[in-house]
Amino acid sequence: MSHPHPELTPPPPLAPGALRIVALGGLGEVGRNMAVLEYDGRLLVIDCGVLFPEDHQPGVDLILPDFEYIKDRLADIEAIVLTHGHEDHIGAVPYLLRLRRDIPIVGSQLTLAFVEAKLKEHRIQPLSMVVKEGQVEQLGAFECEFVAVNHSIPDALAVAVRTGAGTVLHTGDFKMDQLPLDGRITDLRAFARLGEEGVDLFMVDSTNAEVPGFVAQERGIGPVLDQVFGDSTKRIIVASFSSHVHRVQQVLDAAHAHGRRVALVGRSMVRNMAIAADLGYLKVPENVLIDIKRIDDLPDDEIVLMCTGSQGEPMAALSRMANNDHRVSVGFGDTVILASSLIPGNENAVFRIINGLTRLGARVVHSGNAKVHVSGHASAGELLYCYNILKPRNVMPVHGEVRHLVANAALAVQTGVPADRVVLAEDGVVVDLVDGRASVVGAVPCGYVYVDGSSVGEITEVELKDRRILGDEGFISIFAVVSSADGKVLAGPQITARGFAEQDAVFDDILPELTTALEDATRGGATDVHQLQQIMRRVVGRWVSNRLRRRPMIIPVVVEA
């Protein structure tokens, strides 16, 4: 997939004194967030995340931003600024650092701790710079001021980037919970100060722009968890993101109040919560955490399992429990809490998990039937506040599917931002800020880069299409031996099929026609093996389509003897 606007040409050279913004991910999708800012020949990267695959991308582990645009300019990158520690903002950092290992990484303490643990697995020692709210750093051609924002992970930051072309404020992911669990609110006073100074381009989170009003408070979930824990008589299994420190804190507190012990399940959950506890972001009540190996020694009504898999990820702990493929077996009377909202595109996978767990006899509590999660993204009411406080000269909605970006743009216009100053861009679209005005000037190729096992970028859309055909339509192999002397069929044709309801004998009807087609072709002068294989493919393909209403993958093999 390249950028979705084929009418756009490659951008012209950047004008002197202008600022260029290119999103390599995160616009038109929820994931793989990455923006590249260019000024005076230098580059600044904001976030570098991954996108998780959907059902139509079989076998894919992760999807990365397309680094092709910056591959020849790695030496120009001043730094990678990370707004917070979620995978869709930090997950691709190791893959970018493989291309140039000494790019400085800038972010808050918890964000960098999560990134460094990830980089350790890739055997990369990063150059890190820890920053906090209120801090101002000169990163080459870019002066960056960091602003506290509230999100569903501690230590999230917005970043104001000052250049000679103007000031850009990038919110990262944020909301405006006025009573957050950690007491760290979105710093609207800093937003107001930046508004007075003048924000030339506001790059703002769009995920909840379609949702009216305000996001509910995180602390409202505590009483709900407390009630669910009180009503549960057997084991409790809570699924959440492995980086959702606030939710884990609430689960630990509820378990402590109800005399239960908590075991963390999943490598990323164990790793991240150990980091959060070491840095003081997670307060662990005494004697509450236990190793998962100890759960068999305790009665069911004293156990809480905190695991990953709330989005239906096939290899995560909860999916494997639902499929009876995990050391933890879910049984009648157990309670499973999905403590996260649905990421768009994951609905079917999550409902499969809910059905599987319900079939096993568990009570499943999720955001559809109980208030066990609130979003980490600002709703329309909060976004309107931001627009009115900042009064930005130009707006570029980021982080969201197209419908989210369009809804966010409409909010900006409602608050008085001129419609021609609101830039709707998708991945690969190039936006220049020139003389105080932001506008689209072109587009660059910006495809999906698939991580498949140990391969990065080697799987293409063609291979994925083949995988989908194999999964949906089945597979047919055809083998024949043809005489090189007179073109007669010496052996075969033999047909073997996989993924068909019918037995292989159903293909007996087509074998005489196939033999005739091969011999007619050789009598007509066709001697090329590839040509004969294509004839077999066409004959069998047409017959299977007409007779069986299928379009399988067909692999013909012709051997000359």
The Cα-based distances of 7 to 12, 69, 105, 212, 460 in angstroms read 15, 19, 36, 34, 23
* Residue 381: Cβ-neighbour burial (10 angstroms; 0-12, 13-18, 19+): middle
**What DSSP state is assigned to residue 305?**
E
Q: What is the mean pLDDT of residues 227-244?
A: 88
Mean pLDDT highest for which of 12-21, 316-325, 332-341? Answer: 12-21
Lowest mean pLDDT of 80-94, 317-331, 494-508, name the range: 494-508
> Across the chain, what does the average pLDDT equal?
86
pLDDT over threshold 70, residue 472: no
pLDDT band at 295 (very low <50, low <70, confident <90, very high): confident
pLDDT over threshold 50, residue 417: yes
Strands of the 449-452 sheet, one edge to the other? 62-64, 449-452, 455-456
**Of the candidates 318, 401, 442, 381, the residue with the CA atom closest to the CA atom of residue 15:** 442
Instruction: Name the helix (H) or strand (E) containing 425.
Output: none
Instruction: Name the helix (H) or strand (E) containing 13.
Output: none
Q: What is the mean pLDDT of residues 73-91?
A: 95
More confident site: 441 or 59 = 441
Number of residues assigned to the chain:
561
Q: What is the mean pLDDT of residues 338-342?
A: 74
Using one digit for the tens of pLDDT, what is the confidence trace for 130-172?
999 999 999 999 999 999 999 989 999 999 999 999 999 999 9
Confidence at residue 520, expressed as pLDDT on a 0 to 100 scale? 73
Within 10 Å of residue 401's Cβ, how many Cβ atoms? Answer: 18
Kindly list the structural domains of the chain, giving each domain's residue range(s) and its CATH number in brackets, ordered by start.
19-213+375-453 (3.60.15.10), 218-365 (3.40.50.10710), 461-560 (3.10.20.580)
pLDDT over threshold 70, residue 214: yes
DSSP line for 169-214:
EE--S-B--SS-TTS----HHHHHHHHHH--SEEEEE-TBTTS-S-
Q: What is the mean pLDDT of residues 198-207?
A: 96
- Interior/surface letters 385-398, b for 16+ CB within 10 angstroms, e for the rest: bbbebbebbbbbbb
Percent with pLDDT over 90 in the chain: 50
pLDDT over threshold 60, residue 58: no
pTM of the model: 0.81
- Which residues have a Cβ under 8 Å from the Cβ of 198 and sit 6 or more positions away? 166, 167, 393
More confident site: 470 or 64 = 64
Within 10 Å of residue 131's Cβ, how many Cβ atoms? Answer: 21
Cβ 2 vs Cβ 445: under 8 Å: yes
pLDDT over threshold 80, residue 482: no
pLDDT band at 351 (very low <50, low <70, confident <90, very high): confident
